[in-house]
Amino acid sequence: MFKEILILFWRGICLACPVCGEGRVFSGWFKMHENCPVCGFHFEREEGYFTGAIAVNLVVSELLLAAVAIPLALQPWASLVPLLLIGGVLAVLLPLLFYRHSKGLWMSLDHLFHPVEN
């Protein structure tokens, strides 16, 4: 079971199909395939399916932002303006950078709990 979890997690990080592991999920930076080009697995199972991916994206982005901002804020030389600039840039940049991977991880997590065979 642990090996299956690691395989699905790796497929999500690598943006591969959670079912076959060979097909690519995205055809561009924000453009997703509707079905896996290899096995035909339909990526979006129902309307609103990727709402969980938005939550995953938000949590990971906030944790990374906190991991950067808190140690910087505790430095004696830290001033408010640079911290706000760094935090503002990261708050916009991190969700954009993690967008694709959050969808891949969400599909892998969903496939772990609700497997579908093609």
Helix 80-113 to helix 2-13 angle, to the nearest 10 degrees? Answer: 130
Domain boundaries, the chain: 2-113
- Alpha-helical (H) ranges within 28-79 are 51-73
Q: Which two tokens stand for residue 85?
A: 């600039």
Give me the pLDDT at residue 15, please: 93
CB atoms within 10 A of CB 41: 21
Give me the pLDDT at residue 18, please: 92
Give me the pLDDT at residue 118, please: 52
At a CB cut-off of 8 Å and minimum separation 6, what does 72 contact? 78, 83, 86
Give me the pLDDT at residue 117, please: 63
Spans of the chain below 70 pLDDT: 117-118
Q: Are 43 and 36 in contact (CB under 8 A)?
A: yes
